[in-house]
Amino acid sequence: MPRRATFPRRSALAAAAAAAVLTSVTACGSDPSTPTAASTSPGSSASIACNGSGQLLGAGSTAQANAIDLWKNTFGAACPSIMVNYSGGGSGAGVQQFNEGKVAFAGSDAALKPAEVDASKQVCPGGQGIDLPMVAGLVSIVFNVPGVDKLVLDGPTIAKIFDAQITKWNDPAITALNPGVTLPDTPIQAFHRSDDSGTTANLTAYLAAASNGAWPYPPSKTWAANGGQSANGSAGVSAQVKQVENSIGYVELSYAQTNNLKSAAVNTGASQPVDATAANAATTFAKAQFAGTGSDLALNLDYATKDEGAYPIVLVTYEIVCDKGNKAASLPALKSFLTYTSSDAAQQAIGATGYVPLPAEITTKVKSAVSQLS
């Protein structure tokens, strides 16, 4: 069943994705500086207020890494006194580092769990960790089957492939979805994430909602299914699928595009299979609901959507920050960077790289939350 959230003001999310900047000061924080005049970043009409200085550290989601790379270059050119450093490692590692006080921001493709929020209170004196949506996109089912340019799959079939219940490309379940396509009588090599991953969490949330019971595991950042081989990060999965014939995997769309990988269309029960495009993901995000309370902006998504043109395997990367208790030395730079990443110019800049720009309704809330960080 679709997951719906009750929010005081039910809000529709019209498309999503901006890449948040994970930046954070080292565990000790960076040196404060007097706010400088607003700067205009190269290639952007946005005015960037450069407050603070020093090194900003972040870690976590690899799904947003391409967006962060683009943003930190633009931000760095406008604000040379602030050095943004972001390491991947996966959502699980990012949240862990945040709750250990090693970074001021963590990127996670899944909202904080109650236990993680409780743990965050140790590093957010007087406050707690909150979820700010910054990067939204989709999880692409990528494949490398010689001679096959287009492929259609559905929830039950994807579940069985990744759980080693379907092991050959010409299995009747796959051929039934692809009339007229010659599929080889060869074993399927499935790749999944080795690290705790928010991309995995979103894929498994989709499978739990849309596989008609074929996926027996709960949604999780940790891979639980049988069979397959593992690879580290979205980059690792992309590389394996690109290199290994008759393989399949799952990555954020920008990685599929960067590596020239083919993406399967998904049969959702709508009149036509839905291609893995940003525009089709935006259709799904248009009906997302806020699930968080207060300054937490976590979202609930309908992974089981059957709406026409709605791609169901969607993903939102949150920047995990302290609502209160941020280090005074790093706070000005932190707020400057997150204000920039939620700007219209920054959101539009990543729209051509496989992400979906966040709508004004969402960025307005994000900017308000950032302005209140203390």
For the stretch 220-231, pLDDT in tens is: 999 999 899 999
Quickly tell me which residue has 């979205």 as its tokens. Answer: 234
Q: What's the pLDDT at 35?
A: 39
At 88 the pLDDT is: 86
CATH of region 139-282? 3.40.190.10
Reduce the DSSP state of residue 60 to 3 states and report it: strand
Q: Using CA atoms, how far apart are residues 106 and 58, in angstroms rounded to an integer?
A: 6
pTM, 2 dp: 0.80
Non-local (6+) Cβ contacts of 30 within 8 A are 52, 53, 54, 55, 56, 82, 329, 330, 333
10-residue stretch averages of pLDDT, the chain, 374 residues long: 35 35 31 38 60 92 91 95 91 95 92 96 97 94 98 98 98 98 98 94 97 97 95 96 98 94 98 96 87 91 96 95 91 90 90 82 89 96
Q: Give the Cβ contact number of residue 361 at 10 Å.
A: 11
Q: DSSP E strands: which ranges in 34-167?
A: 39-40, 47-48, 54-60, 82-89, 105-108, 129-144, 152-154
Domain boundary assignment for the chain: 139-282
pLDDT at 42: 38
Joined together, the tokens standing for residue 52 give 């603070």
The confidence score (pLDDT) of residue 275 equals 98
Task: State residue 333's pLDDT score.
Answer: 87
As a whole-number percent, the residues of the chain with pLDDT over 90 amount to 70
pLDDT at 45: 38
Q: What is the pLDDT of residue 6?
A: 31
Phi, psi for 347 (deg, rounded to 5) = -65, -45
Task: Note the pLDDT of residue 113.
Answer: 94
Closest CA to 41 of 80, 83, 68: 80
Encode pLDDT of 8-36 as tens digits: 333 333 333 333 333 333 332 333 333 34
Structure tokens at 180: 């007229």
d(CA 125, CA 246) in angstroms, rounded, equals 51
Burial of 165: CB neighbours in 10 Å, binned 0-12, 13-18, 19+: middle
